[in-house]
């Protein structure tokens, strides 16, 4: 996982931490949550594309 989105101070989006908070979230909702979190982190300044996939592992 390589986060590229930065905030106004230049700090990268904390993707690994964010993922841990989404483990019980349905994949579609996790992707929606990610988009909103990236917008918030960047101050609504996403100036690049986003590619993400969410997969639910079942037993």
Q: Give the three-state DSSP class for 12.
A: strand
Provide mean pLDDT across the span 27-51.
90
Q: Report the C-alpha gap between 33 and 23 in whole angstroms.
A: 12
Q: How far is CA 43 from the centre of its chain?
A: 14
Q: What is the mean pLDDT of the chain?
A: 89
Torsion angle (degrees, nearest 10) of CA 23, 29, 32, 37: -40
User: Is the pLDDT assigned to residue 45 strictly greater than 60?
Assistant: yes
pTM above 0.85, yes or no: no
Q: 46 near 39, Cβ under 8 Å? A: yes
């Amino acid at each position: 996982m390589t986060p590229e989105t930065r905030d106004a101070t230049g700090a990268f989006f904390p993707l690994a931490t964010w993922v841990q908070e989404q483990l019980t979230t349905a994949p579609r909702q996790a992707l929606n949550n990610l988009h909103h979190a990236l917008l918030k982190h960047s101050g609504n300044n996403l100036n690049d594309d986003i590619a993400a996939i969410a997969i639910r592992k079942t037993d």
